[in-house]
Amino acid sequence: MLLRATFVLSTILGLSGCATPQTLPDTANIQPGERPDITTDEAGLWMASEDVERRLAASGRVLTDPEINAYVKEIICRLSPEYCADVRVYIVRTPHFNASMYPSGFMQVWTGLILRAENEAQLAYVLGHELGHYFRRHSIQQWRTVRDTASAMTFFSIATAMAGVGYVGDIGALVAMGALMSYSREFEREADDVGFEMMSKAGYSPDEAPKIWQALLQERDASGDPNQLIFFATHPSTEERIDTLKGLATAVPASARGVDVGAERHAKITHPYLSEWLRDDLRNRKLAGSEIMLKRLIENRGERPELQYFLGELYRIRGDEGDAQHAVEAYTTALGQKGAPAEAYRSLGLVHWREGHTAEARAAFEAYLRAAPKASDYAMVKSYLDQL
């Protein structure tokens, strides 16, 4: 392992000692099935990237369910059939909005992103953007820039972390790879163009591309914290990108304009995960942004009692002025919809209890016990009734 790591490090650093590392023309697209020559710095970057991939695969954070994996992979293959076999996707359970493409053809897509995409077309646009970084070999170009301009310390710490040597663990390597993927504006524009062209050619509605950035901006503005979404740290100047994408969408002639949005397909595939991902999101405690996101999902996904339930949870957790009433309304709406989670009764009871509405609290707890007689907290909720 150490030997391998040392080799990876020295290959990236160009210290292999035998041959002068070859360099590829910066602008050449990667070809389907292509692997860089072993003597190049690009091959070293691929090996480091493959190490990160192995660790991620073994991390226990990757979703293994075939259906959702097939869904994301099918979008990628629809966007770029010729590269379908070269790209490997890992859906990572984490509540942040992010996706990243590694030089060797592996892509991470985070569940916080899939949750926030309103439909398949929006997800396709972001996946296309990431594929753009891959086709255009942005990682190796970025790597060479970092190598030539960063201080020795920064460079060595990134290289060491990437090679997995010494004191840094998995997270270190992921972060270091992430630093490499903090692309310049020029690369971001190029990836936007490639992503837009691919989603548009694949028959998705081009108008969806700017919408996902707009939604993210709203979340960021609500939070008042520009760094709230990790994505903004690596994908700058979103306002400008929205304008550019809107312009591109308008310019697509009617004859070539795709109409596929895929809202129902997206909602159906993601529905089994909705509660889990929303719970993850609230645990993240970025409640102002979550409120915007939940309201947006309620608007475009229609009756989903889980969405109302978690909106209620958000208000209950936050507890600002007026939130108790908002929580009661959201739980009541959820409970009026088909398939509402029984927990909505329990939470409704807790809010009423806190507000001193004893009769309403009692009714809600009793409804919970009737609806969930096998719940693990049955005895606890029963004890609430004794205390009321």
Q: List contacts with Zn ion (CB under 5 A).
A: 191
Contacts of 288 (CB under 8 A, 6+ apart): 222, 223, 224
Nearer to Zn ion, 191 or 314 (CB): 191
Nearer to Zn ion, 191 or 249 (CB): 191
β-strand partners of 90: 108
User: CB of residue 133 vs Zn ion: minimum separation in angstroms?
Assistant: 6
Q: Which of 238, 116, 233, 125 is nearest to 181 (CA)?
A: 233
Distance CA 309, CA 289 (A): 17
Would you say 263 and 119 are in contact if contact means Cβ atoms under 8 Å apart?
Answer: yes
Strand order in the sheet with 99-101: 88-92, 106-110, 99-101
∠ CA 289-290-292, nearest 5°, is 65
When CB distances to Zn ion are compared, the closest residue is 191
State the residue for tokens 């739980």.
331
State the residue for tokens 């398939």.
339
User: CB of residue 335 vs Zn ion: minimum separation in angstroms?
Assistant: 42
User: CB of residue 300 vs Zn ion: minimum separation in angstroms?
Assistant: 25
Would you say 316 and 350 are in contact if contact means Cβ atoms under 8 Å apart?
Answer: yes
User: CB of residue 196 vs Zn ion: minimum separation in angstroms?
Assistant: 13
User: CB of residue 142 vs Zn ion: minimum separation in angstroms?
Assistant: 11
Nearer to Zn ion, 104 or 308 (CB): 104
User: CB of residue 112 vs Zn ion: minimum separation in angstroms?
Assistant: 16
Q: Are strands 106-110 and 88-92 parallel, antiparallel or unpaired?
A: parallel
Nearer to Zn ion, 90 or 331 (CB): 90
Distance CA 128, CA 190 (A): 11
CA distances from 166 to 52, 163, 170, 344 (A): 15, 9, 11, 48
Nearer to Zn ion, 115 or 126 (CB): 126
Distance CA 276, CA 111 (A): 10
User: CB of residue 297 vs Zn ion: minimum separation in angstroms?
Assistant: 24
Nearer to Zn ion, 243 or 303 (CB): 243
Nearer to Zn ion, 176 or 191 (CB): 191
